């Protein structure tokens, strides 16, 4: 059952838990049947989920995958407080209330032909959604997905069969889902995981960019989501190499519909600096304009 919200593209939907799988590092992948939101979801948009009937305050969650035909959503999250702790207790067959999809998604018109996707931690899900979308809708593009994590990845990495010029030879760990769709991916961590780049994911991005040459970099556009320190490093890379970029900002929020203005960030506009709400003016902003 669903009902329109006050914003035209957002609805409230009673979703059904179909699967709920745990992974190391207190990470969970939640699959929900929510056909109306799945049909409207776009890479970069998110949902506001009621974690438990005893907790009225919802939590924002990025969408990792939306299957329009099946009417399902996949959400990857990490337990780090009361709300997500209660959410981890939800079992298949139970309903959960969703508000969504919310926010300004990634701009997917007029971008360069070599998208470089960078995801860190719980910023990985929007990058997975975006990579799958690009593979399905933009056959001429060659997305390259880099993922970084300081806890075990919520999937079993496997050696990549897709060669990527500019990546150190020992760095072969990839995400199986990306491999299955023919999308190049590589992993980075400071935890010495096998096959991963030893360092921050932005260090791996720099290594790859350095080996593309000026002509190669002229075809690259960056898309990123992750913790604020990572996004600051991504923005610095974009400015250093003069590459356009879009970043999806992570922020705590209460209402997620712009009413409370508790999730604002500074953005440089044509009229000067302004405070923009991450929930409805974002979460995706131009890397050149957002100030973190």
How do residues 228-245 score in pLDDT, each as one tens digit? 999 999 999 999 999 999
Q: Which CATH class is domain 114-291?
A: alpha beta
CATH of domain 2-102: 2.40.30.10
Query: Is the C-alpha dihedral spanning 188, 191, 196, 199 positive or negative?
Result: positive
Is the CB of residue 10 less than 8 Å from the CB of residue 18? no
2-102 and 114-291 share one fold: no
How do residues 84-141 score in pLDDT, each as one tens digit? 999 999 999 999 999 999 999 999 888 899 999 999 998 999 999 999 999 988 876 8
Domain map (residue ranges) of the chain: 2-102, 114-291
How do residues 131-169 score in pLDDT, each as one tens digit? 999 998 887 688 999 999 999 999 999 999 999 999 999
Closest CA to 289 of 281, 109, 105, 205: 281
Q: Which conformational region is residue 151 in: left (phi greater than 0), alpha (psi within -120 to 50 degrees), or beta?
A: beta
CA distance 279 to 103: 5
Q: Which pLDDT band, with edges at 50, 70 and 90, does 4 fall under?
A: very low
């Amino acid at each position: 059952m669903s009902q329109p919200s006050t914003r035209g593209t957002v609805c409230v939907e009673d979703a059904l838990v179909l699967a709920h799988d745990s992974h190391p590092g207190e990470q969970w992948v939640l699959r929900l049947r929510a056909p109306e939101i799945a049909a409207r979801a776009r890479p970069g948009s998110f949902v506001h989920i009621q974690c438990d009937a005893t907790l009225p305050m919802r939590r924002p969650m990025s969408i990792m995958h939306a299957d329009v035909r099946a009417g399902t959503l996949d959400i990857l999250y990490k337990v780090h407080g009361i709300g997500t702790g209660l959410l981890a207790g939800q079992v298949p067959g139970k309903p959960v209330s969703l508000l969504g999809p919310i926010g300004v998604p990634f701009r997917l018109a007029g971008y360069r032909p070599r998208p470089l996707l960078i995801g860190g931690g719980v910023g990985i899900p929007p990058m997975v959604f975006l990579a799958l979308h690009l593979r399905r809708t933009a056959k001429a593009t060659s997305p390259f997905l880099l993922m970084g994590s300081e806890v075990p990845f919520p999937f079993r990495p496997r050696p990549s069969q897709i060669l990527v010029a500019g990546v150190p030879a020992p760095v072969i760990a990839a995400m199986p889902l990306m491999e299955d769709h023919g999308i190049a991916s590589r992993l980075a961590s400071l935890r010495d995981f096998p096959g991963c780049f030893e360092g921050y994911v932005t260090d791996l991005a720099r290594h790859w960019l350095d080996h593309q040459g000026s002509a190669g970099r002229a075809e690259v556009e960056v898309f990123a989501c992750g913790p604020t320190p990572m996004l600051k490093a991504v923005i610095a890379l974009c400015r250093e190499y003069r590459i356009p970029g879009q970043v999806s900002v992570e922020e705590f929020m209460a209402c997620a519909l712009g009413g409370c203005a508790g999730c604002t960030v500074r953005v440089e506009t044509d009229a000067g600096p302004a405070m923009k709400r991450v929930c409805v003016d974002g979460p995706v902003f131009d890397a050149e304009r957002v100030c973190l």
